[in-house]
Structure 1
Amino acid sequence: MKVQAKSLSDEDRIKTLDALYTAAGSVRDRKTAKLFLRDLLTESERIMLGRRVLVARALIVGMTYDDIVAEHGVGKDTVRKISRWLKDQMPGYETVVAEVDKEYATREKKCADAHRYATSLLYRLEKRYPMHFLLFPAPKEKKST
Structure 2
Amino acid sequence: MLGGNPCMPVNEKLRDELTDKLFEAMLTLKTVEEFYRFFEDIATIGEIKALAQRLEVAKMLDAGMTYEDIVAATGASTATISRVKKCLNYGADGYRIVLERTRNEYKKQG
Give the TM-score normalised by the residue count of structure 1.
0.59
Give 2:16's aligned amino acid.
I
**1:4 match:** none
Q: Which sections of structure 2, spanning at least 5 residues, go unmatched?
A: 1-11
Higher normalized contact order (CA 8 Å, seq sep 6+, divided by chain length): 2
**2:99 match:** 97
Deviating above 3 A after TM superposition, structure 1's stretches of 4 or more consecutive aligned residues are 99-105
The worse-fitting range, judged by mean Cα deviation, of 33-42 and 52-61 is 33-42
Offset at residue 89 of structure 1 (A): 4.8
Q: Deviations over 1:24-66 (max 9, x none)?
A: 1222222211211121111111100000000000011110111
- Report how many residues are paired: 96
**1:69 match:** 71
Q: Which sections of structure 1, spanning at least 5 residues, go unmatched?
A: 1-9, 110-145
User: Does residue 1:18 correspond to 2:49, yes or no?
Assistant: no
Offset at residue 104 of structure 1 (A): 4.7
CA distance in 1, matches of 2:106, 2:43: 24
User: Does residue 1:86 correspond to 2:93, yes or no?
Assistant: no
Task: Check 1:14–1:89 CA distance in 2 against 1; reply closer, same or farther (3 A cut).
Answer: closer
Task: Check 1:38–1:104 CA distance in 2 against 1; reply closer, same or farther (3 A cut).
Answer: farther
Task: Check 1:103–1:34 CA distance in 2 against 1; reply closer, same or farther (3 A cut).
Answer: farther
SS in 1 for 2:30: coil
Task: Check 1:104–1:35 CA distance in 2 against 1; reply closer, same or farther (3 A cut).
Answer: farther
**1:143 match:** none
CA distance in 2, matches of 1:29, 1:99: 16
SS in 2 for 1:90: coil
**1:58 match:** 60
Give 2:83's aligned amino acid.
K
CA distance in 1, matches of 2:37, 2:103: 21
CA distance in 1, matches of 2:36, 2:104: 18
Task: Check 1:86–1:77 CA distance in 2 against 1; reply closer, same or farther (3 A cut).
Answer: same
Structure with greater proportional helix content? 1
CA distance in 2, matches of 1:103, 1:35: 23
Give 2:79's aligned amino acid.
D
